[in-house]
Structure 1
Amino acid sequence: MTFIATPVIASEEEKYITSSEFWPAISLSEFRNIMRLDGTVTDERLKHATCSSILQVNNELKEWRITHQTNGHNNLVSIPAEQINNQSEYLLLYQRAVFCFAKANLIERYNDYDSTAKGIKDNEELHDTTTSLRRDGRIAIRDILGVNHVTVELI
């Protein structure tokens, strides 16, 4: 067993990814801390995965956003919601969806580095992790929309 130190990201300034004025900016350092990402993920990869995730989540919530904007809510946190630690539940759910989809995207790209038998085995183990992250992102979106987590149809 060998120990390989991974670099710690020391950011001079806080970096955010922004989208429309309705949605909150996403802090890349908060994303790194919450999702336990170290310096092996470069800022460029992190930005790319986060932007892609924001696009996906914003697209899935587009009609919901338009409805709330029509009702006079100019941003996500202005919508009446339960507060957890003085933060809107919608804000927390939005961040969770973005973070989960972005980390799943990053994990799926890690097998680019190693195509050996060990790399293939590790990729199979990571598949469960990416599936769980995508599920958690879907649940967060469905919670924002106020719909059930499971849809069942009889054939």
Structure 2
Amino acid sequence: MSFSGKPTTLVEQQIDNDGFWPDLSVSEFQKGYRLPGEYLGDMLVVDLTTAMFEVNADLARCKSRWQSAGVSCVKSADTRVLPERTFHVATYKRAVYSRAKASLLTQFATVTRRDSAENTGKEAPERAETFLSFSQQAVRSLQGRGRMTAALL
């Protein structure tokens, strides 16, 4: 239950992915990322789907490289080809779920619409930036890159 008194209703919906990356569960997202009960299920689905497409685009080269090595699906990949597949599934979900939460947090003020409902823990810009950073860290990990990169200008 959220502080508004509205119970958090879990949305039992699966979002189908492209077959290579794992499918996503809205209820897993809600439980794992403690989303406020004020968000409508449709809003969760839209932002989660958008985040999935964005992360998939970020990982297109990685996917292509793994497919060239014979991996057709990360979740069931041969451990001799992709030994850390379990880690990759969890990291992929972290990338998508964190990016979706970052997007949803920026919309919280429009969800509550009352001054008395202001919640800086849910609305502060740095909260969204933190979750977007978590997403980018997970994407970089899947790409085999470190947390920081230096570029020659």
Q: TM class, shorter-chain normalised?
A: 0.7 to 0.9
Hey, what does 2:5 align to over in structure 1? 5
Structure 1 residue 10 displacement after superposition: 5.0
Give the Cα separation in 1 of the matches to 2:92 and 2:61: 15
Question: Structure 2 CA distance, aligned partners of 1:154 and 1:106?
Answer: 35
Give 2:38's aligned residue.
40
Distance 2:36 2:107 in 1: 15
Give the share of equivalent positions with the same residue, in percent.
24
Measured in 2, the distance between the counterparts of 1:130 and 1:111 equals: 13
Q: Show CA shifts across 1:9-64 (max 9, x none).
A: 155xx311112110110011100000002431111000000000001000000111
CA separation of 1:118 and 1:58: change in aligned 2, threshold 3 A: same
Which residue of 91, 94, 112 maps to 1:93?
91
For residues 149 and 103 of structure 1, what CA distance do their matches in structure 2 show?
Answer: 20
Q: 1:80 aligned to 66, 77, 82, which one?
A: 82
| Contact 2:121/2:127 (8 A) holds in 1 | no
Shift of 1:95: 0.3
Could you say if the C-alpha distance between residues 10 and 30 of structure 1 is closer, same or farther in structure 2, counting changes exceeding 3 Å? closer
> Hey, what's the Cα distance between the residues in 2 that align with 1:68 and 1:21?
13
What secondary structure sits across from 1:111 in the alignment? Answer: helix
Please give the secondary structure, in 2, of the residue aligned with 1:136. Answer: helix
TM-score when normalising by structure 1: 0.83
The secondary structure found in structure 2 opposite 1:146 is coil
Give the secondary-structure state (helix, strand or coil) at the position aligned to 1:76. coil
Runs of 4+ in 1 over 4 A off after TM superposition: 115-119
Where 2:120 maps in the other structure, the secondary structure is: helix
- What are structure 2's unaligned runs of at least 5 residues? none
What are the ranges of 5 or more consecutive residues in structure 1 without an aligned counterpart? none
Q: CA RMSD in A?
A: 2.5
How many angstroms apart in 2 are the aligned matches of 1:123 and 1:38? 11
**Letter of the 1:80 counterpart:** L
